[in-house]
A and B are shown apart, each in its own frame.
Chain A
Amino acid sequence: METITQSIQLVPLNHYILLSAALFVIGVVGVITRRNAIIIFMSIELMLNAVNLLLTAFSAFRGDAAGQVFVFFIMAVAAAEVAVGLAIIVMIYRNTRSIDINVLNKLKW
């Protein structure tokens, strides 16, 4: 364990920022370019995870445990969000026989 805590000091904070930004942007592109509601949901999970990773990195960088507690709460919110969201997707599928988001254009102006 000592070796891990010493060697992680060699990774610059910039690289964590780059990694998280890349994961977040991949999630955004997934939301924009896909039409399957479940894959859009998974992209949202990717974005949440990118933010979690960055919060943990900054928490370690600042030596403050509050960031990791925040990540814990984000995980609880993500679990609740997935449960409700998948129930909504099941409901949509039952009513329209499809999970293509382009079917859901009733609110479109």
Chain B
Amino acid sequence: MTIAELSPRVGSGEVSPVEIVTGCLERITARRDLNAFVSVQADRALEDARAATAEIAAGRYRGPLHGIPVSIKDLIDVAGVPTTAGSAVPPLHPEADAPVVRRLREAGAILIGKTNLHEFAFGTTSDETAFGAVHHPLDYARSAGGSSGGAAVALVEGMCLASIGTDTGGSIRIPSAACGIVGLKPTFGELPVVGIVPLSTTCDHVGPMTLSVEDARILFDALRASAVKKPAEAGPFTFGVPTGYLLERLDPEIREALTTVRSQLSRAGHAVTDVAIPNAQSTPDIYLHIVLPEASHYHAATLESDPSGYSPGIRLRLEMGRYLLAEDYVRAMQLRARLAAAVDAALRQCDALLLPSLPVVAPILGATTVDLDGNPEPVRAATLRLTQMFNLTGHPAIAVPAGRNRASLPIGMQLVGERNRTDRLLAIAAGVERQITVGFGSVGGGAG
């Protein structure tokens, strides 16, 4: 059940936060094998649920998140709870909540626990982690995506009603697509990343993962501490499908799904057109030369003093970043600005870009390559291919479920909007959500 569906029943007193939290805690216990959580704050959550129940009964209902359990990626500070970042490196011990956490509490949300992730958010499969690989809820042998893999699993399995993730190259959208949920990466800088362990300070974003676009809007309202102005326009919209690099290598079933979605949108009265993004193929090189040194900068002291806590692969990637030349970092930053201008130009031809969130379905845990149109491609490169561009350019992007493949694994589509117009992107996504999921449906049972 979505937050939008459940919250009126909470507000009316028909359903109590204690019931909801108890149900979530039971599901967490029942599926510990999925490794969705690093830590569960059960006692505090129940205490907060009892307080919320009393507050609502006394007529002090705060709004749609009041009494709703939310999970927090364990990269984000929660006062009094260690921030592990999924690593065996000694954790941080924050005394204060990150601003996004504080805003959720102010909206009445109940923090149920901290979710597992790819170590330091430096990967897309959530299997390099000190807390056990995160398993896909539909296929135990597969990855749930990453780096916010535990956040996606927690939501799909009904362990919470929303999750907060972070996204530096696709870490909200990739697990959302892999698990069949909605994941929003807002415009760069729109939500504060203070109190969040950085991966790349110029690419890091924080955002919600939810069961519907409407729920994403509810969370986004709370996270930015102001209501989203709902644009009056309801379409029809023009969608631009990028030509060239972004879509040249797709799993055949993902390509088929994109064709189906194009038809569904056209039949619903929207326009769908091809758009070019010049030099899009340079995205991975630009990304690498920015994210590597920025990540290495944060970790440099620990790499020198005690690197033993890092997983071997993470340590090597962080060390690699220390060798990059400053001139190539500046070169990448300048090329990044040109790429952002190219995306801006593409968005002048349409209301939103439309493309898959992932070129493949959830990869097998431990696989080093995936097959794309008959060619093996490294898992990390393949899974970042369709999302990382918008971390570089800062455009808001949202992953929405778009059915399943023949093996019943979820497929996600991605919509990308104008910078600083996340509110409009949410309105567009809400307008098409049902049109591109007809006949498919989401994965999980949800809570409540």
**Same assembly:** no
A interface vs B, CB < 8 Å? none
